Chains A and B, each alone.
Chain A
Amino acid sequence: MITILFDGVAYGMLLFVLAVGLAVTLGLMNFINLAHGAFAMAGGYLTVYLMQRAGVPFGVCLLLAFVLVGVLGALLEVTLYRPMYAKPPLDQVLFSIGLVFMAVAAVDYFLGTSQQNLQLPGWLSGRTVVGHGPLQLGMGHYRLFIIVLCGLLTLALQLILGRTRFGSRLRAAVDDPRVASGLGINVNVIFLLTFAAGSGLAGLGGALATEIVGIDPTFPLRYMVYFLIVVAVGGTASITGPLAAALLLGIADVAGKYFIPTLGAFIVYLLMILILLWRPEGLFVRKGGG
């Protein structure tokens, strides 16, 4: 019982790290980036190949997944994404679907269609069981690791956005790019850094997710909906909204698959539509401002 909750929280945390970059691009730059999952896929493949081919330790792989995918995101931002910010949503949707399709086919071509799995290092495999009976909690070490790591990341993000100079500049640039640039804030650089960090987090999330969901070329399309749900339901005004939405989604998904396996993802989609009907702007909307 509690084990399911625990797994759900771990899954939700993972979804949050995967999707938080999308929340940033969507909420901040108003850009509908359906290609976000492609960055996660890049992180996942990078980790698999670094670990299996080059024997790089897992921790270093995670760091590299973050950094390299972040750099990739920065490159794409400068070359492709920046001119798209001012375009209408339809163009953004078409553009990013095009990117996803290209990424899927390219990975398929170079790396093959088979699903890649990850061999975890010894200190992360294994499982601790606490308590007994209905209150028994079985914690996979890897899931515990994910919860701790993602929890720390969330705290760090919250601090960066809320307490640092960069955070306040970012918020200013989002609220009104014109006034912000009038005040001497270089909006382009702020957006570039934010986009890169968001892509990096997606890469990290992809690296972490490889062990749990496995990674194959269709990953960006399969998980696109989940990322979008997190952002659409959580709203884009803060990072606590997407966090809550991701946890809700993670728990609902794990519990749904456990208790009513025949319905599968059905519950998740239904829940999303109902929530969006009830509150079209997402569950957690900042009143005023924006």
Chain B
Amino acid sequence: MTVLVSDPARAELLRLSRWRVWEPLLWLIAFAAPWLLPGQALRISEIAIVALFAVSLDLILGYAGIVSLGHAAFFGFGAYAGALFAKLVMPEPVIGLVVAMALSGLLGFLLSFTILRGTDLTRLMVTLGASLLLLELANKLDWLTGGADGLQGVVIGPVLGHFAFDLRGRTAAWYSLAVLLLLFLLLRRLVHSPFGASLQAIRDNRLRAMAIGIPVRARLVLIYTVAAAVAGAAGALLAQTTGFASLDVLAFDRSADVLLMLVIGGVGWLYGGIVGALVFKILQDSLSTITPEYWMFWIGLILVLLVRVGRDRLLRPWTWWGK
């Protein structure tokens, strides 16, 4: 078998995938956070969950260039899958998480065939339509999902049979952070592999990618499936740590929020989702204390300003002034 990757290309890929000094440090701080801020453990867990969700969107938006307005479909599906598994089959969270991921991945695989054709507008509509379809289904199948009241009576067992969820949420925080770290490491490996590089080639120029022999359709199907599974994991985490799943996990706002988080943090960079989730949640908390019900206005204003400033310049404040 011949090796197709030439040496400079391999060196470049390896350079990109090398660990930076600050990365382990960041994760250490994250894992120390529930100790340092014991009162905020539930919030830390929530941030880890939405960060995972944002990272999953980055896989398809940042790396494969697919604009989706309905990524909440997989998040919500995973949340319901996780909650229903705990309620109907067994309360063990880790197995429930794996099952929810598998089911969401399957859904992503099926839906991936809807995003292969057409323009950006068609894809927007199809992704949005799919998430609304699931929302309608969850609303109508109230014997299964509890409908508009949400799915109640979900009892989650201790993680790995040892660590029970406590009211202060420290177990939840560490559990969410651990899942985030594990999946992040896998995805980090994935996007820095030749597979990840081929995705970026598809994003930048699909026609050219096809011409140099990249199997575009197969790659898109695969990454969409992976992203759906990861989003499903985030949803399942939310359902498990809160013991609840309601229709809002599928709502359009959730798709819009996660898009915003990712854009705040930076697209096409796995840490973008994490940074974005952190900034978004802090913004949400601080703005909500000023005007609780008009948070939507501020988020809208941020979006408009963000786009007008140029979202690629947000992370580089020194370019804000001057041309």
Interface size in chain A (residues, C-beta < 8 A)? 43
For the complex, give the distance between the alpha carbons of A265 and B129 in Å. Answer: 11
**Contacts of B299 on A, CB cut-off 8 Å?**
98, 101
Q: Report which of B119, B132, B295 forms a contact with A281, defined as CB distance below 8 A.
A: B119
Check B300 against A105 for contact (C-beta < 8 Å).
Answer: yes
**Contacts of A101 on B, CB cut-off 8 Å?**
256, 296-297, 299-300, 303
Which one of A63-71, A87-95, A116-124, A202-210 is at the interface? A87-95
Instruction: Closest B residue to A87 by CB, please name it.
Output: B307
For the complex, give the distance between the alpha carbons of A80 and B133 in Å. Answer: 33
Interface centre among B67, B260, B293, B296 (most CB of A within 10 A): B296
B128 contacts the other chain (CB 8 A)? yes
With contacts A109-B297, A221-B252, A262-B140 known, is A269 near B132, CB below 8 A? yes
A26 contacts the other chain (CB 8 A)? yes
Instruction: Closest A residue to B295 by CB, please name it.
Output: A105
B299 to chain A, nearest CB (A): 6
For the complex, give the distance between the alpha carbons of A280 and B311 in Å. Answer: 29
Interface SS of chain B: helix
Check B125 against A272 for contact (C-beta < 8 Å).
Answer: yes
Check B301 against A98 for contact (C-beta < 8 Å).
Answer: yes
Annotate B258-301 by CB proximity to A: 1 below 8 A, 0 otherwise.
01100100010000000000000000000000000111110111
A72 contacts the other chain (CB 8 A)? no
Q: Report which of B124, B137, B300 forms a contact with A228, defined as CB distance below 8 A.
A: B124
Q: Report which of B61, B136, B296, B307 forms a contact with A91, defined as CB distance below 8 A.
A: B307
Size bracket of the B interface: 35 or more
With contacts A89-B120, A90-B61, A272-B129 known, is A102 near B114, CB below 8 A? no
Check A97 against B303 for contact (C-beta < 8 Å).
Answer: yes
Q: Report which of B119, B140, B303 forms a contact with A98, defined as CB distance below 8 A.
A: B303
Q: Which of A227-241 contact B (CB under 8 A)?
A: 228-229, 231-232
For the complex, give the distance between the alpha carbons of A129 and B257 in Å. Answer: 49
Annotate B92-134 by CB proximity to A: 1 below 8 A, 0 otherwise.
0000000000000000000001100111111011101110110
B89 to chain A, nearest CB (A): 27
Check A108 against B294 for contact (C-beta < 8 Å).
Answer: yes
Annotate A190-222 by CB proximity to B: 1 below 8 A, 0 otherwise.
000000000000000000000000000000010
Check B297 against A80 for contact (C-beta < 8 Å).
Answer: no
**Contacts of A229 on B, CB cut-off 8 Å?**
125, 129
A257 to chain B, nearest CB (A): 13
Q: Report which of B126, B296, B301 forms a contact with A273, defined as CB distance below 8 A.
A: B126
**Contacts of A266 on B, CB cut-off 8 Å?**
133, 136-137, 140
**Contacts of A228 on B, CB cut-off 8 Å?**
124-125, 128
A264 contacts the other chain (CB 8 A)? yes
A223 to chain B, nearest CB (A): 12
Q: Report which of A26, A108, A269, A280 forms a contact with B118, defined as CB distance below 8 A.
A: A280
B308 contacts the other chain (CB 8 A)? yes
A15 contacts the other chain (CB 8 A)? no
Q: Report which of B114, B121, B140 forms a contact with A263, defined as CB distance below 8 A.
A: B140
A161 contacts the other chain (CB 8 A)? no
Check B136 against A105 for contact (C-beta < 8 Å).
Answer: no
For the complex, give the distance between the alpha carbons of A103 and B294 in Å. Answer: 11
**Contacts of A91 on B, CB cut-off 8 Å?**
307, 311
**Contacts of B303 on A, CB cut-off 8 Å?**
94-95, 97-98, 101
A38 to chain B, nearest CB (A): 10
A185 contacts the other chain (CB 8 A)? no
For the complex, give the distance between the alpha carbons of A228 and B124 in Å. Answer: 9
A180 contacts the other chain (CB 8 A)? no
Check A277 against B297 for contact (C-beta < 8 Å).
Answer: no
Check B122 against A105 for contact (C-beta < 8 Å).
Answer: no
A-B contact pairs, 27 of them (CB 8 A): A32-B120, A32-B124, A89-B67, A90-B267, A91-B307, A93-B67, A95-B304, A95-B307, A98-B299, A98-B300, A102-B301, A104-B300, A105-B300, A221-B252, A225-B128, A231-B121, A264-B136, A264-B140, A269-B130, A269-B133, A273-B126, A273-B133, A276-B126, A277-B126, A280-B118, A280-B119, A281-B122
Chain B residues proximal to chain A, CB less than 8 Å: 61, 67, 69, 113-114, 117-122, 124-126, 128-130, 132-133, 136-137, 140, 252, 256, 259-260, 263, 267, 293-297, 299-304, 306-308, 311
10 pairs of A and B residues whose beta carbons are closest in the complex: A98-B303, A280-B118, A101-B300, A105-B297, A102-B300, A98-B304, A105-B296, A89-B120, A95-B307, A98-B300
